């Protein structure tokens, strides 16, 4: 067989991604590429080539690019929720921890602009609660934090409004900074988030 034959590539791929978990290797490569450019530029063929497998091997795990993008957005949601946990654990419970969650949201967006924009795109956000995707963990944490701030005395309707207010502030600030409309300045983040939601 020719040296560039797919079977040779697949054999070599075992050495390339070592642990044998091709799906994880593809996701990691996708995450790496989203540090360099937008999701629109991501190519399944190029991801496969970088990992060291044929394009057909990718389709066993991701039938199309959209499926890989969903997996990347799920990882992003999980990482953001972990960033919330880390930030909140370093602060006093209550308002300080709540503000730390907001700062973590903006910091995550600034550190991972292309991944953040993918994760928050309408295509990735639609139906995540119904599907129980990992991205709902961060929203559940926000709901819990708001409930704790109010002493559990908030109606469900008011809690939904407060959650939307809090999300709007951090998401709006993150997008303004990512788009270069306001400076990505730590002091400015603190000033904007100092305004109480509850």
Per-residue pLDDT, 104: 96
For residue 149, the domain's CATH number is 1.10.357.10
Q: Note whether 50 and 148 are same-domain residues.
A: no
Specify the CATH number for the domain of residue 54.
Answer: 1.10.10
Question: pLDDT digits over 35-94, tens only?
Answer: 999 999 988 889 999 998 888 888 888 989 999 999 999 999 999 999 999 999 999 988
Instruction: State the angle between helix axes of 6-17 and 22-34 in degrees (0 to 180), rounded to the nearest 10.
Output: 80
Domain that holds residue 189: 70-193
Number of structural domains in the chain: 2
Q: Is residue 1 part of a domain?
A: no
Cβ(165)–Cβ(197) below 8 Å: yes
The encoded tokens of residue 92 equal 């006093």
| Residue 105, domain member (yes or no) | yes
Cα 144 → chain centroid: 20
C-alpha distance from residue 120 to each of 88, 98, 114, 123, 141 (Å): 22, 21, 10, 8, 17
Final residue belonging to a domain, choices 48, 63, 78: 63
């Amino acid at each position: 067989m020719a040296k560039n034959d797919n079977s040779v590539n697949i054999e070599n791929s075992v050495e390339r991604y070592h642990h044998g978990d091709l799906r994880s290797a593809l996701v990691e490569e996708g995450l790496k590429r989203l540090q360099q450019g937008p999701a629109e530029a991501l190519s399944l063929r190029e991801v496969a080539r970088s990992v060291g497998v044929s394009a057909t091997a990718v389709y066993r795990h991701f039938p199309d690019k959209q499926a890989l993008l969903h997996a990347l957005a799920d990882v992003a949601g999980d990482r953001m929720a972990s960033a919330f946990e880390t930030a909140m654990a370093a602060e006093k419970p209550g308002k300080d921890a709540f503000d730390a969650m907001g700062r973590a949201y903006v910091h995550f967006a600034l550190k991972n602009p292309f991944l953040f924009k993918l994760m928050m795109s309408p295509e990735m956000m639609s139906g995540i609660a119904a599907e129980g995707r990992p991205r709902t963990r961060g929203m559940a944490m926000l709901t819990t934090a708001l409930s704790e701030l109010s002493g559990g005395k908030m109606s469900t309707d008011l809690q939904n409004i407060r959650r939307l207010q809090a999300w709007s502030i951090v998401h709006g600030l993150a997008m303004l900074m990512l788009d270069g409309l306001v400076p990505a300045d730590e002091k400015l983040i603190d000033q904007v988030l100092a305004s109480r939601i509850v």
